[in-house]
Amino acid sequence: MGRSQQTYSKSEREKKRIKKREEKQKKKDARKAEAREGSGGIPMAYVDFNGNLVDTPPDPSMKVEIEAEDIVLGIPKKEEGDEEEFDPVRTGKVSFYDSSKGFGFIIDAENNEKYFCHVSGLIDEIAENDKVTFELERGMKGMNAVKVTLVQ
């Protein structure tokens, strides 16, 4: 009895294997037929003069000719007359300062912006309501006041 059972399951497994192979072949043939019809694939796309993807070819009358010499690469050269002096030193007032924690905030006199200052960026000792001069430096969370000096 045990022997015939084994033979039966073996033949069943072989039938399943053959069936799977046939199904795989059918799928392969269907994919080949679909590829021959050309229904799949990437449709043609064009880029219009604004840089958007469109399905119609660009209008030749919209073409703009650009001379290679007119293209400027890099930073434009500064002319002698248009040089504007920028003073990095700003003035402000200490709105809050905690000497035990070593940080505070300074309000800029020009634009009323509030800037963070740390004890490492101080030149003079400061306290609340002191008038100060400072420079700005980009920190992790925005602009920080550095080189903070007291105004007498």
d(CA 142, CA 138) in angstroms, rounded, equals 6
- Tokens, residue 105: 């905030």
pTM of the complete model: 0.44
pLDDT reported for residue 114 = 92
Q: Which CATH class is domain 90-150?
A: mainly beta
Whether 117 and 144 have beta carbons less than 8 Å apart is answered as: yes
Q: pLDDT tens digits for the chain (152 residues)?
A: 555 556 788 889 999 999 999 999 999 998 888 777 665 556 678 887 778 888 888 777 777 788 888 887 887 676 665 555 566 789 999 999 998 999 999 999 888 899 999 999 999 889 899 999 999 999 888 899 999 998 87
* Rounded-to-integer distance, Cα 106 and Cα 128, Å: 9
Nearest to 91 by CA among 112, 122, 120, 119: 112
